[in-house]
Chains A and B, each alone.
Chain A
Amino acid sequence: MSANVNHSLPLEYQTEQNRLNILGFWIFLGAEIVLFATLFAVYGVLGHRYAGGPTPSDIFKLNDVLIQTLLLLTSSFTCGLAVFFMRQRDMKKLLTWFVITLLLGAGFLFMEIREFIHYVHEGATMQTSAFLSSFFVLLGTHGAHVTFGIIWAIMLIIQLLQRGLTPVTARKMFIISLYWHFLDVVWIFILTFVYLKGMVA
């Protein structure tokens, strides 16, 4: 709500409605943690049930995974920079870093889709075994989140260009940055408990 503006705070915290939205989004992230935890639990239970199909060490490729990790990790960093420059009211740097973030995210998505297509060509599909079902759905859910984030970010860039930095656009930018960092956190666990775990044995 437009009343109750506190100019001593960063733009995204200035209005009461903004503070409500930011808290609400944090709580939504709590729900997202539970959602991904459930997918990890499923993978934890089914991850070794290969049903005679390919095993992790048969299909995982370290190089591809590392490139994906670096892309996403860097995009989380550049997203942080975008918010940093937003707080300095530097629209140009904000947009620059944010667009870089998106490009890195798109690069990650490209790599992931390529990886999936590669698996499918090797006969490792979602229907092959319980391991692959849980693998594809866990990774796919993360990938779908990234895709959604990219579409959302494009909408936001249009709004930033239309309206400049206002408490509302700043709040939206801040919230999407939380979302983006969160996706990176999820990826860290995917890297550890899916890829590295699968390649250790």
Chain B
Amino acid sequence: MEHKSKYPVSHVVGFLFSLVLTFVAVFVALKMNVSYTIVMWIIGSLAVIQAGLQLFMFMHVTEGEDGKTNVINMAYAVFVAIVIVAGSIWVLTSGHAAH
């Protein structure tokens, strides 16, 4: 986990990637002529990729003796997050609740 190189290569690469991802998302959202659903899927995926980038390249989630625990912890948190967001929207926008 000790950085051998004298220059923060992975940080610079990670930063450039996240800039690119951000601008691609903005471009897709505002300049591309595709349906709303497709746009949301694309920019949603880009956001997830960028979050992963931060997690692995900046936060070093796998680092240290508890790397595995951290990954399981993040995975479970993401599972719960998806349940909350998707579940709430599903439950509250179907059936009578939608009206």
Please give the residue numbers on chain A whose beta carbons come within 8 Å of chain B beta carbons, in ascending order. Answer: 9-10, 13, 19, 22-23, 26-27, 29-31, 33-34, 36-38, 40-42, 44-45, 62, 66, 69, 73-74, 76-77, 79-81, 84, 87-88, 177-178, 181-182, 184-185, 188-189, 191-193, 196-197, 199-201
Contacts and interface: CB of A to CB of B under 8 A. Distances in A.
Contacts of B65: 19
A45 B94 CA distance: 11
A84 B8 CA distance: 7
A61 to B, nearest CB: 12
A33 B77 CA distance: 6
B26 to A, nearest CB: 7
* Chain A CB within 10 Å, residue with most, of B6, B87, B89: B89
A178 B66 CA distance: 15
B25 A191 contact: yes
A189 B51 contact: yes
Given A45-B92, A185-B55, A199 B73 contact: no
B38 to A, nearest CB: 10
Interface residues of B, number: 49
Given A73-B19, A193-B44, A200-B36, 12 more contacts: A10-B1, A10-B2, A23-B69, A30-B73, A30-B77, A73-B15, A79-B58, A81-B11, A84-B3, A196-B29, A197-B43, A199-B29
Given A22-B64, A30-B76, A88-B3, A80 B88 contact: no
Contact of A34 (B55, B66, B70, B77): B77
A192 B21 CA distance: 11
Contacts of A26: 61, 66, 69-70, 73-74
The 7 closest A-B pairs by CB, nearest first: A37-B81, A30-B77, A196-B29, A41-B88, A77-B15, A33-B77, A192-B47
9 contacts: A27-B73, A34-B80, A37-B85, A44-B85, A77-B58, A80-B11, A80-B15, A81-B11, A199-B29
A178 B59 contact: yes
A44 B89 contact: yes
A73 B18 contact: yes
B66 A80 contact: no
A41 B80 contact: no
A168 B64 CA distance: 17
A196 B84 contact: no
A201 B47 contact: no
Nearest to A40: B85
Contacts of B89: 41, 44-45
Nearest to B50: A188
Contacts of B82: 37
A197 B88 contact: no
Contacts of A177: 59
